């Protein structure tokens, strides 16, 4: 178990940091500390940081890491503040919050190579807006919630509605990342070629690591051609029919950019809240976004309409204008707001499980039944092409929170039982840590812990997130033979002696 | 520097292994040892293994690893035997070769989820042939040279001609891998959901690691819809014009599956060797493979023809029959054979550098000039959409080999200078190890070594490949403060004492 510095040590660290940063970029104001430690819509235990520092460059992050190491003070990166699993919550003992939200610049656009270098605090929607303003017909296709930053997207291994076409943050959208390691050292994981087989994939090491192995400060991101799109909605007899239609559409290779499953409750909530003027049939529905030339979209729509009908669906029709398409998509994208409006003055807990696509109907049915039996109201919206769905479980009083927590727990257990994952795109943070052993097996989690311990031996980088620390040392028995040849083998010997250390 | 067992220890290990495996699956026959240690077309130093064992399952690999650990004997995986960088060469001191080529079974096809579970020795072309025979309209789109296995494709982080559309092995084609770690433990890195944000990306840890961190025995692979394709060839005034045309085509989002740059010498070699009856203009050319419905292909071809003409290209015409398309593509795919036929009785050294696409023309021009000045004959074929190209440098006598080696060295240096990589898709093996520091910087390489040392503390997994071992310990200074709190900090203390250990 890592031993952090004492409160007095932390005060010394803060005093040192005050000598390094101007007063207007380092704060211990309780309101500032609170805002940087708690995200909206999160019901996990949280804590305020001890100090928040707004950074302007990679070297500054490195200088903070050196102070944090010296005083053994936790250090957590913050940028967009949109995490749903407590990813940037402070450690209960406090720590340093490195606020990268001001590092939001695009450093260089390489249009001919369809890539772009930017700082970690840049928001994906701002990047796409900048490209649009400059008339560059490219975009960055990872689309989590608006406001998410490149750094946070890397940290969570995010995706979004475009993943069915473009894959996730774990695909090849990040050509390289610049990272400050727990040693304070600054590395750049790769050069700018689109592909490379030069050694271990250290870029990927930081994607999904939630700032526990290093703090990403810059990235080179791939861009995709910005294509015309159009939108259509269709209704289905049930979720299974809708899912089967999607399976067939995908296996036919129809070039769709998105396909989103919205359940009957979601459609009711949308009619209730509605951005567009359309009143939808309140049935399980699919929202499609097509991409390509008008000819390609027309042909895709023809194929999809056929498949929809073959699976008992109806009502499929392409939007007739750009405005109509934008309005329909806005109805889908307003999930949080239309959901919350369903129960006045409610709060919502957003879930995020993912299973093989063919198992999605079972997961949705069992979940809906469970929620109903628990007396909970929820909308469901799914990235059905990926087998990923979010339910927004509504509640008003804190006394309902335990019922919500129980339902979320059962949903995760169900997803894992169906060969799925506790988190499709929101990461582990605090909220999903308890499920890793069950989902991945002891060996895989212990491998993660071994990597964590090796790269961050003091355990100060976003402690308590992703994996508990330290590794259970009894798993480090590499050999039956004693070996005293070198320091390396010596550490193995130690691990043979120390059989177990309690988990954090 | 890892200390391996003595020759006597290795004999003990082999004796123990003989008690575990039937005689017909364990061999010390010199011919067998040689075949498993040397790949064709590789001019790196090699060595024969001490023993070769044909394995039939994951547990068997684990049992071998335990014997290897006990006697500190190097252990190297072998399957397809197509490596170009000495990836499966034995360590100079010998070792155990684990032959997975018999583990070539497809375990389960999940058509509705478009994925498939298989053993590591399965070949990608056999997998696609099986899907075709079963009438399942899906395929695995990574297409390195025929004969490459899933295990080798993971080890090298491979790609191929389809990468411009489907990305590489480092994208999301491997949903999970089953791995035997150096501890002998068997882990499965993930479940079968298409995406997951559950912790570090341990699947990616093994992709491109060339068996130095574990031996992959099974994988779940994503499949893509099998779409109709057609092929066309066009000629250009020069490489730059051709590359610029490709950039424009890609940025327009035209759905091409492949685009391959073949230089004038390649086209001459093809006319000389020719599978198809077509005689091509002997100029720098692009081979296109389009995909989609006939309507989509026709539309794509129209757009591409326009762009080709705008960049001074000519001769663009879609193949008029499936046979013609297959023949044209076979001309491109016969690169090795048509190249070798150019100089009777020659051998070829195949290179593999990759740069940002916009820099490909400079790289090609400088390389062609250098080869000419060196008196070397070479064909060039490039995955131009990825900025990756291979030159097949021809030579006859061993005395020419040094000139080839020099030219390859300068080509790599040039690629790195152009913000590229020493290897686009063939991995590091022995051949590219010397370039990692220059390409990636000290910190990134040392991070790789740190990971290597941690996961394989005895240094017996495919030693001498990818990164030298062990890590330079002076890089392990995490903190200025002494710390004696726990075993973990103790190891850090040790690292502060041991300032440097010579490289292997």
Using the predicted structure, report yes or no on whether residue A386 has a pLDDT greater than 90.
yes
Note whether B232 and B290 are within 8 A (CB).
yes
Task: Measure in Å the smallest separation between the Cα of B485 and chain A Cα atoms.
Answer: 7
Hunting for tokens 């004999």 — which residue is that? B11
Using the predicted structure, report yes or no on whether residue B473 has a pLDDT greater than 50.
no
Contact B487 A467 (CB under 8 A): no
The Cα–Cα gap between B385 and A175 comes to 15
pLDDT tens, position by position, B42-56: 788 778 999 999 999
The conformation of residue A494, written as its DSSP 8-state character, comes to H
Considering only CB atoms, A441 lies closest to which of B187, B195, B428, namely B187
pLDDT-derived band at B88, boundaries 50, 70, 90: very high
Average pLDDT over residues B410-414: 97
Closest CA to B99 of B58, B54, B139: B54
pLDDT tens, position by position, B355-370: 999 999 999 999 999 9
Cis upstream peptide for A350 (omega within 30°): no
Closest CA to A65 of A56, A74, A54, A52: A74
What pLDDT score was predicted for residue B45? 78
Average pLDDT over residues A207-234: 98
What pLDDT score was predicted for residue A490? 30
Which are the contacts of A294, defined by CB distance < 8 A and separation ≥ 6? A228
What pLDDT score was predicted for residue A504? 38
The reply to whether B108 touches chain A by the CB within 8 Å rule is no
Average pLDDT over residues A115-141: 98
Helices (H), A313-441: 322-333, 335-342, 360-373, 401-417, 436-440
Using the predicted structure, report yes or no on whether residue B145 has a pLDDT greater than 50.
yes
Residue in A138, A187, A196, A351 to test binding to B, most B beta-carbons within 10 Å: A196
What pLDDT score was predicted for residue A277? 85
pLDDT tens, position by position, A405-438: 999 999 999 999 999 999 999 999 999 999 999 9
Contact A448 B479 (CB under 8 A): no
Residue in B169, B195, B496 to test binding to A, most A beta-carbons within 10 Å: B195
The reply to whether A35 touches chain B by the CB within 8 Å rule is no
> ipTM of the assembly?
0.92
Note whether A426 and A452 are within 8 A (CB).
no
The reply to whether A372 touches chain B by the CB within 8 Å rule is no
The reply to whether B227 touches chain A by the CB within 8 Å rule is yes
Structure token digits, residue A343: 């129960």
Considering only CB atoms, A478 lies closest to which of B167, B387, B458, namely B458
Q: Go through the domains of chain B in sequence order and give each one's CATH number.
A: 7-99 (3.30.43.10), 106-225 (3.30.465.10), 227-257+264-330 (3.30.70.3450), 343-434 (3.30.70.2740), 472-504 (no CATH)
- Per cent of chain B over pLDDT 70 is 92
Structure token digits, residue A199: 């050694």
Cα B487 to chain centroid distance, Å, stands at 39
Average pLDDT over residues B420-446: 96
The Cα–Cα gap between B60 and A139 comes to 48
DSSP strand pairing (A256-262 vs A314-318): unpaired
pLDDT tens, position by position, A474-494: 333 333 323 222 322 233 323
Tally C-beta pairs within 8 A across A and B.
392
Who wins on pLDDT, B471 or A235?
A235
Note whether A147 and A82 are within 8 A (CB).
yes
Structure token digits, residue B218: 């099974």
The reply to whether B136 touches chain A by the CB within 8 Å rule is no
Using the predicted structure, report yes or no on whether residue A40 has a pLDDT greater than 90.
no
Q: Which range among A181-185, A256-260, A290-294, B438-442 shows the weakest confidence by mean pLDDT?
A: A290-294
Contact A457 B432 (CB under 8 A): no
Residues of chain B contacting residue A86, judged by C-beta atoms under 8 Å apart:
none
Considering only CB atoms, A357 lies closest to which of B112, B356, B439, namely B112
Contact B195 A424 (CB under 8 A): yes
Considering only CB atoms, A479 lies closest to which of B69, B423, B479, namely B69
Note whether B189 and A446 are within 8 A (CB).
no
The conformation of residue B396, written as its DSSP 8-state character, comes to -
- CA A177-B219-A196 angle, to 5 degrees, is 30
pLDDT tens, position by position, A131-151: 999 999 999 999 999 999 999
The reply to whether A168 touches chain B by the CB within 8 Å rule is yes
Residue in A9, A160, A197 to test binding to B, most B beta-carbons within 10 Å: A197
Hunting for tokens 């934008």 — which residue is that? A326
- Give me the residues of B, 459-498, that contact A with CB < 8 A: 459, 466-467, 470, 473, 475-481, 483, 485-492, 494-495, 498
Task: Measure in Å the smallest separation between the Cα of A26 and chain B Cα atoms.
Answer: 23
The Cα–Cα gap between B422 and B503 comes to 21
Cis upstream peptide for A155 (omega within 30°): no
- CA A124-A130-A131 angle, to 5 degrees, is 90
Average pLDDT over residues A289-315: 95
Task: Measure in Å the smallest separation between the Cα of B335 and chain A Cα atoms.
Answer: 21
Residues of chain A contacting residue B426, judged by C-beta atoms under 8 Å apart:
197
- Per cent of chain A over pLDDT 70 is 92
What pLDDT score was predicted for residue B274? 76
Contact B198 A428 (CB under 8 A): yes
Average pLDDT over residues A269-277: 88
What pLDDT score was predicted for residue B148? 97
The reply to whether B112 touches chain A by the CB within 8 Å rule is yes
What pLDDT score was predicted for residue B491? 32
Average pLDDT over residues B74-90: 94
Residue in B10, B161, B193 to test binding to A, most A beta-carbons within 10 Å: B193
The Cα–Cα gap between A393 and A346 comes to 10
């Amino acid at each position: 178990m890592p031993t952090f510095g004492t409160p007095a040590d932390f005060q010394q660290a803060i005093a040192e940091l005050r000598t390094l940063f101007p007063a207007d970029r380092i704060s211990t104001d309780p309101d500032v500390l609170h805002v940087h430690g708690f995200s909206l819509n999160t019901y996990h235990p949280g804590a305020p940081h001890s100090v928040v520092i707004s950074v302007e460059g990679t070297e500054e992050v490195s200088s903070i890491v050196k102070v944090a190491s010296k005083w053994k003070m936790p250090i957590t990166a913050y940028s967009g503040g949109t995490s749903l699993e407590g990813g940037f919550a402070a450690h209960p003992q406090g720590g340093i919050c490195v606020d990268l939200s001001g590092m939001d610049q695009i450093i260089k656009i390489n249009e001919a190579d369809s890539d772009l270098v930017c700082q970690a605090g840049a928001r994906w929607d701002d990047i796409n807006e900048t490209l649009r303003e400059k008339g560059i017909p490219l975009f960055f296709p990872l689309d989590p919630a608006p406001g998410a930053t490149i750094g946070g997207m890397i940290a969570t291994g995010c995706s979004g509605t475009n993943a069915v076409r473009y894959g996730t943050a774990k695909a090849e959208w990040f050509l390289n990342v610049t990272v400050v390691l727990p040693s304070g050292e600054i590395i750049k994981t790769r050069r700018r070629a689109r592909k490379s087989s030069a050694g271990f994939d250290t870029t990927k090491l930081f994607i999904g690591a939630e700032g526990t192995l290093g703090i990403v400060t810059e990235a080179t991101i791939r861009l995709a051609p910005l294509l015309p799109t159009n939108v259509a909605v269709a209704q289905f007899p049930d979720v299974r029919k809708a899912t089967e239609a999607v399976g067939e559409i995908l296996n036919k290779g129809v070039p769709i950019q998105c396909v989103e499953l919205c359940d009957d409750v979601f459609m009711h909530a949308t009619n209730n809240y509605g951005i567009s003027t359309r009143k939808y049939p309140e049935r399980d529905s699919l929202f499609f976004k097509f991409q390509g030339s008008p000819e390609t979209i027309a042909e895709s729509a023809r194929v999809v309409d056929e498949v929809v009908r073959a699976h008992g669906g109806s009502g499929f029709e392409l939007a007739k204008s750009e405005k109509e398409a934008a309005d329909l998509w806005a109805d889908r994208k307003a999930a949080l707001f239309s959901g919350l409006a369903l129960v006045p003055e409610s709060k919502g807990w957003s879930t995020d499980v993912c299973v093989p696509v063919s198992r999605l109907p079972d997961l949705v049915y069992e979940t809906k039944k469970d929620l109903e039996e628990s007396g909970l109201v929820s909308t469901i919206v799914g990235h059905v092409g990926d087998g990923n769905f979010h339910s927004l479980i509504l509640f008003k009083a804190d006394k309902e929170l335990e019922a919500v927590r129980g339902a979320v727990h059962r949903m995760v257990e169900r997803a894992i039982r169906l060969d799925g994952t506790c988190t499709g795109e929101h990461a582990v943070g605090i909220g999903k840590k308890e499920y890793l052993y069950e989902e991945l097996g002891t060996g895989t989690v212990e491998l993660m812990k071994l990597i964590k311990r090796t790269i961050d031996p003091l355990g100060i980088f976003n402690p308590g997130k992703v994996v508990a620390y330290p590794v259970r040392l009894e798993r480090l028995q590499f050999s039956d033979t004693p070996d005293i040849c070198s320091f390396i083998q010596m550490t193995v010997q130690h691990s043979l002696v120390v059989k177990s250390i309690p988990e954090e």
